[in-house]
Amino acid sequence: MAACTNNVELGFVEKSPPWRLLSQFFPSKVGGKPAWLNLKEVPKSKNLFCPNCNKTMTFLLQIYCPPPTGDEDDATAEATAQSTCFHRTLYVFCCREATCHQTSNSEDQKSPFAIFRCQLERRNDFYSYEPPDEDSQVPEKDIISPKQFDVLLCDVCGCNAGDRKCGKCQKAVYCCKDHQVMDWKIGHKAKCGKEFGLHDATPPANNKFLFPEFELVTEPESEEYAAQEAEENIEKGSSNEDLRLVGAGLVQTAVELENGYMSTKDLDRMARKETDDDVQFMNFKKRISHDPDQVLRYQKGGRPLFVSANDQPSEKDIVPCSCGAKRQFEFQIMPQLLTHLEVDSLDASIDWGTLLIYTCSKSCTEGPPYHPEFLWKQDYHNSSIS
């Protein structure tokens, strides 16, 4: 992910050699195990339990999004290097239980997502001051791992494992009993007691807990599309009002046919809501049709592309950061990502219209190294078109 810009950056997934997704390359990626930025103090497993089902959440994606840098003199460059926000990565986790995703921002059900922000100075305990050579594969002996800092990660999910170990070999570690049982079934039984490498870059193909792994690459959205559609939306102002009037006329007809089972006011409100939602949904579809494979839209401090006219967060809905600063929109995860996660099911499955991520406007350093941030889920099933 490039440094933060004022333009919309679109994210796409593509296959990449596993070594390119190691922590020391500051990757943006989807699925697999997280590539932690701070290797000494990763989030505790208890912070990654779904508040609804109490199961461990799965790593969804991370984006490397450092602040922008321009032409700098030596003094400015050194000050930037000492900034706590030279390296910056955002992490998103989600529960794999479909039943935990059936409502949006409900008071009765807590969010099945967790978002963390991590920042480092350019001079830090883990990485070289100079950027890595992204064209050269790293020998296993040079791979930087949390294990080098006495941090044990679960063999199944790659998150903090706590004190749970395989009782036989005492080498495999897990964050929960479910993952210990799962690992025994998918391969640990055969390799128990054998030597482990420093880093298992390729998780077992039958590890169904993890999402498929991809690199997340970005490119700017065409400003021509954005300008064109902004102009069209202005021109469509009158036509949108016409749609509402048509809806009101249909409501009156419905009232007459139903002999007033519902008041004209109530039915008019319903028709207006459906019309507004349909217009918003069509605008959403048209905007992403220029780049239909986009799985992410990044615009720090910008405005999200809403999928519905309903359930849009108000300012009071966006919980302030623990430091007291307001949170601002930073990026959104698109529904197209679901096609790459292999979560489709004949029964209920993980689903969303779009996921909106809001982060501290000051990129504060208060609290733990992995600072919790805020997510708002917007569904599109309320649209009559969808």
Q: Answer yes or no: do 303 and 276 share one domain.
A: no
What is the number of residues in the chain? 386
CA distance 71 to 145: 33
Q: Is residue 119 part of a domain?
A: yes
The tens place of each residue's pLDDT in the chain, 386 residues long, gives 655 556 899 999 999 999 999 999 999 999 999 999 999 999 998 899 999 999 999 999 999 999 987 554 555 555 444 567 899 999 999 999 999 998 777 666 789 999 999 999 999 999 999 999 988 898 888 899 998 999 999 999 999 887 788 888 888 899 998 999 999 888 888 888 776 554 444 456 678 899 999 999 999 998 776 666 556 555 554 444 444 443 444 444 444 444 556 666 665 666 565 677 788 889 999 999 999 999 999 999 999 999 998 889 999 999 999 999 999 999 999 999 999 998 876 567 899 999 999 999 999 998 899 999 999 999 875 444 44
CA distance 49 to 154: 14
Q: How many domains does the chain have?
A: 2
> Which one of 255, 289, 323 terminates a domain?
289
Q: Answer yes or no: do 99 and 41 share one domain.
A: yes
Please count the CA atoms within 13 angstroms of the CA of 374 that sit on its side-chain side: 21
pLDDT at 134: 87
Q: Answer yes or no: do 122 and 41 share one domain.
A: yes
Phi, psi (degrees; rounded to nearest 5) at 376: -120, 125
Q: Answer yes or no: do 32 and 104 share one domain.
A: yes
Q: Answer yes or no: do 217 and 253 share one domain.
A: no
> Which one of 259, 289, 319 terminates a domain?
289
- Where in the sequence is the domain holding 242, given as residue range(s)? 223-289
Q: Answer yes or no: do 83 and 135 share one domain.
A: yes
CA distance 52 to 88: 29
283 membership: H or E segment, kind and range: helix 264-289
Q: Is residue 245 part of a domain?
A: yes
Q: Answer yes or no: do 251 and 116 share one domain.
A: no
Q: Answer yes or no: do 214 and 321 share one domain.
A: yes
Q: Is residue 358 part of a domain?
A: yes
CA nearest to 84, candidates 123, 116, 115:
123
End-to-end Cα spacing for the chain: 31
Q: Is residue 172 part of a domain?
A: no
CA distance 149 to 215: 26
> Which one of 243, 260, 289 terminates a domain?
289
Q: Is residue 165 part of a domain?
A: no
CB atoms within 10 A of CB 289: 9
Q: Answer yes or no: do 214 and 231 share one domain.
A: no
This prediction has a pTM of 0.84
Q: How many helices (H) and strands (E) does the chain have?
A: 6, 13
